Amino acid sequence: MEQAFGNLYEIFGRQLVRLKDQPEDMPDFVLEYCHGDRCWVRQQAWGRTINLGIQRSQIIGLD
């Protein structure tokens, strides 16, 4: 875990995850980090500067 601005952020170290309703032919997403009910993921091809903010409940198997 890493502390930033007085809030805890969960760091996942590039864990690969799938999203609910994600098409089978789409590659897994890289889970960058979560803060509360929000998580930031990206596709490996996007590079590290582009992230997608989603609800934690949209990630399969991350409870």
- The pLDDT score that the predictor gives to residue 2 is 42
How many helices and strands in the chain, by DSSP H and E? 0, 5
User: 3-state DSSP call for residue 56?
Assistant: helix
Give 14-63 pLDDT, tens digit per residue: 789 999 999 999 999 999 989 889 999 999 999 888 999 999 999 998 76
Residue 4 above 60 pLDDT?
no
